[in-house]
Structure 1
């Protein structure tokens, strides 16, 4: 079963890229450093980071640009605006053993959609496409950070509650006691 990662979790690669891992983290509201893009008028900016870490014994050439990211916001999965002018991509960087490389990305979406943000990443490693992975998270005062397995007291299900419910339904009934 394909399970999304929670923002902040590491995703390990297998096969030809064993030892390489990636994560999406630090999802937060933030204004872009070079000013707002006119296409983002009426939208709220946020930023996140994509970090690639090499735990192998050889180096990997990493490439990550705007066409390798898909950002969706809200319950309906509306496409968020990725501000490529303000974002810092990873373009052909060699990541040596025990080293990391981080990309800082700026995007924008309607304020009401920020409580549910999905980021899909597909790296290019040594001129080969890797598998696509998804991270889910949210921003906002109404959706505080929730620990793994924790439940919120709000009447509306948080993202963590929705993920836990989905996983419980997929797992089916537990073993008989």
Structure 2
């Protein structure tokens, strides 16, 4: 069974040797160009999607609008994406041991920000990689790369796995 990544985890791509992607930096943040009128009454947050090349050759990476989908709340409602303030990776050559990061500004109802799902589909050169999913919430502390998982992180991962397998997890509603 495929399980989603927890926000902060790196995901390796078998179809592109050395490519790995990470969704991280999920925080409350106002967009630098001001609030969009369409987001009135919604709470803004930001997230980062980083692509890293650990392979031996250059990869041309595309991570643009439409390749990142953000859903909030238990029903998975679409978050408002502020395209005007977001910054994407558009046909950037990522050389070995280099990274490129897209920054998205999104908004959703305050009550729904306890669950944020981010689906990413990277395009490398002219090939589409498989979609990958990360799940998290605002306020969940991210572990630094290589650190041992903490109790909050393990609890979230266990709850997501239990939900996907269809069995209730203790302490969840």
TM interval, shorter chain, is 0.7 to 0.9
Give 2:170's aligned residue. Answer: none
Name stretches of at least 5 consecutive residues in structure 2 with no aligned partner.
144-148, 168-173
- Which residue in 1 is equivalent to 2:7? 7
Instruction: Say which SS state the counterpart of residue 67 (structure 1) adopts.
Output: coil
Counterpart pick for 2:160 among 163, 168, 171? 163
Normalised to the residue count of structure 2, the TM-score between the two structures is 0.85
Q: CA deviation at 1:162?
A: 1.4
CA gap of 1:61–1:113, structure 2 versus 1, over 3 A, is same
Q: 1:68 to 1:145 in 2, by over 3 A?
A: same
For 1:102 and 1:41, how far apart are their aligned partners in 2?
27
Cα distance between partner residues in 1 of 2:45 and 2:76: 16
Counterpart position of 1:120: 119
- The CA deviation at 1:133 is 0.2
- 1:65-121 per-residue CA deviation (whole Å, 9 max, x = no partner) reads 111111100011110011110000000000000000111110000000111000000
Q: TM-score, normalised by structure 1?
A: 0.84
Higher RCO (C-alpha 8 Å, min separation 6): 2
Structure 1 Cα separation of the partners of residues 20 and 31 of structure 2: 27
Q: How many aligned positions are there?
A: 161
Ranges of 4+ aligned residues in structure 1 off by more than 3 Å = 144-149, 158-161, 164-170
Runs of 5+ consecutive residues of structure 1 not aligned to the other structure? 153-157, 171-177
* Alpha-carbon distance between aligned partners in 2 of 1:102 and 1:94, rounded to the nearest angstrom: 12
Question: Residues 76 and 168 from structure 1, CA distance in 2 versus in 1: closer, same or farther, beyond 3 angstroms?
Answer: closer
Superposition pairs of residues 51-130 of structure 1, within 5 angstroms: 51-130=50-129
Contact 2:8–2:142 (8 Å) recurs in 1: no
Does the CA-based 8 Å contact 1:123-1:130 persist in structure 2? yes
Distance in 2 (alpha carbons) for counterparts of 1:21 and 1:11: 5
Listed one character per residue, the Cα deviations across residues 10-56 of structure 1 (whole Å, up to 9, x for unaligned) are 000113x1100000001000000000111111100000000000000
